[in-house]
Amino acid sequence: MLMRVSCYSQTTYPKELIIDGDTVVAITLDNCREINQVFLDAKHYKIVSDSLNQKVILLNGRIDNDSIIIGDQNFQIDNFETIMYNKQLVTDRLEQDLKDTDNELTRSKKGSELVKKAVIGSIGLNVLLLLAMMLNR
């Protein structure tokens, strides 16, 4: 292929020449190195990108797994709170029953003391009556 001499007079590279409808690009060794570096960088970024995509997939899997674990723990916490609420209700009922029983026992003791005092009083009156009858005879 013959090149026109005018193409050599250009001072900046890369050069683009159209010869009989074909495009020819002339580059320097430095241009070739730059182009090669672009391809190497692109290959490196592709590898890094693939690695990061794998890490994203792994992390998404961990997030999904952790979400399931958190959901289970929230369910357990809700169940525990329900159990604790029910236990508190039972405790409150037992405390009220204990208070009621204590009040009943206190009333019963007071009633027993009244009966005791009444019996002692009636015995005392009977003794006095007997003494009075004995003295009158």
Q: Over the stretch 60-112, which tens digit does the pLDDT of each residue have?
A: 999 999 999 999 999 999 999 999 999 999 999 999 989 988 888 888 777 78
| Dist. CA 101–CA 87, nearest whole Å | 21
> Regarding predicted confidence, which is higher, 15 or 101?
101
CA pair distance 74, 76, nearest whole angstrom: 5
Q: For residue range 31-44, what is the model confidence (pLDDT) as tens digits? A: 889 889 999 999 99
Tokens of 92: 């409150």
79 Cα distance to chain centroid: 14
| Global pTM value | 0.43
Q: What is the C-alpha to C-alpha distance for residues 82 and 126, in angstroms, rounded to an integer?
A: 65
